[in-house]
Structure 1
């Protein structure tokens, strides 16, 4: 059923519209009407005549000082899942058994690989005999260090000490893939009771490195990585 507006209400609405129009015409413009309007984006204290999403993002996100390991964890050509695992390991935020026990959980703290030491990040990824067997084959492709690593900082120093940008990139890719597959095998051993030899773990690492390099072979710094890895 159509709704009928009272004539008095229509009359009031018409008078309000006329009054608003009259009021607007009495307001003087701040600029000469012959001057073209301009606009500017202000990000922080910096005005700009063009919008840039990168500048807006830098203003929105919280900033912290750049850390010296940043380029070892996050870099062009990295595999996101590998970088994320490396980032967590760097901050010692992976759920190793010593951390689970420190949270009050009733779990054994023995390393699942060797069962002789407490499972810390440094032991799991660097000092365990099983882990060192995997690293020894990886090192043979990336110019091995002078001595075995005792803590995480030594691994990062070895990566950054590469003589060439290509070798540094290869070390970063290989290290991240190794950390990822060691953690994967650790979880498989604990949760699925699947035990693989260090040789089998390196086979997975080698296959993944070949796929990563092949997928990026058109990039400048990846051009000679395959020959370096397979030497």
Structure 2
């Protein structure tokens, strides 16, 4: 059996609670293993030995357990062994009709089987975060947003994380300096944007988006993000684009210095950020407002844009 199929089959216990049978004739529903009633699966409390001793087998269908009068065929002694069965009435079976398999969502409602519904049902859930709309929004640049998500989750392969891998001697740890400034330890908080190289880049571009009150610390940037993430204002959308682009290109320059042994070029990074954001803004349509006129002039967006919000 291939690795892919083994992984799929390993999910059976996860998805089984959501797969139910709508009973009609009962012939296509396994009485013990399928979900067809509020006690399902019956195999969770009725043992295989009890099943076989009663004259049934593990592949018995639901129709095999109901007699012509609509009563259960199982032994009367089962009601003493499993009192929970007392409240379980035999289903009304309709001959010549096939049982139907359905997916039940988290609320217990039957719904169409879709991959999106499966994911919604089985995915892990955590408390919502305030910054999500600052990373993923309709005007974002997807690769920048994905990278920014990694930054926020502190999942970038910065060299400080090597300490968790027990790299060895103190000498090796001392070598883990920032490839851009060659001074401090390479880390997420240092790279965005306390590094002298990154700080100069950030201070140069943030003056173009009216974020003078946000300093070069990651905590300050996250505070701004949490306060303005869901804002639909043009100036805030541009700010989110610049934050993501700055993180992306600074990280890219850091990797170039580390793996390609090239010298960091501050002006080149600034120009890449400006060019990328400018090209993204060129795809927007703006409603003419005096509050954003200076911002549009800063980014050299023409005044002949059609009247509308960014979309």
What is the TM-score normalised by the length of structure 1? 0.71
2:153 equivalent to 1:91: yes
The alpha-carbon deviation at position 131 of structure 1 amounts to 0.8
Structure 1 residues without counterparts, runs of 5 or longer: 1-26
1:109 is matched with which residue? 176
The alpha-carbon deviation at position 153 of structure 1 amounts to 2.5
2:232 & 2:115 partners in 1: Cα distance? Answer: 34
2:299 is matched with which residue? 230
2:278 is matched with which residue? 210
List, as ranges, runs of 4+ consecutive aligned residues in structure 1 with deviation greater than 3 Å. Answer: 27-33, 38-41, 48-57, 159-164
Preserved contact between residue 40 and residue 47 of structure 1 (Cα < 8 Å): no
Show the 5 A alignment for 1:1-231: 30=93, 42-48=104-110, 54-105=116-167, 106=172, 108-146=175-213, 148-150=215-217, 152-161=218-227, 165-214=233-282, 216-217=283-284, 227=296, 230=299
1:228 & 1:53 partners in 2: Cα distance? Answer: 46
2:54 is matched with which residue? none
- SS of residue paired to 1:141: coil
Change (3 A) 1:39 1:115: closer
- SS of residue paired to 1:207: helix
Change (3 A) 1:161 1:64: closer
Preserved contact between residue 159 and residue 171 of structure 1 (Cα < 8 Å): no
The alpha-carbon deviation at position 62 of structure 1 amounts to 2.0
The alpha-carbon deviation at position 218 of structure 1 amounts to 5.3
Preserved contact between residue 160 and residue 168 of structure 1 (Cα < 8 Å): no
The alpha-carbon deviation at position 73 of structure 1 amounts to 1.9
Greater fraction helix: 1
My pick for the range that moved more, 153-162 or 135-144, is 153-162
Residues 154-194 of structure 1: per-residue CA shift (max 9 Å, x gap): 10222444586222211111111110100100010111122
What is the TM-score normalised by the length of structure 2? 0.54
1:219 & 1:61 partners in 2: Cα distance? Answer: 38
- SS of residue paired to 1:186: helix
Task: Please give the root-mean-square deviation of Cα atoms over the aligned residues, in Å.
Answer: 3.5
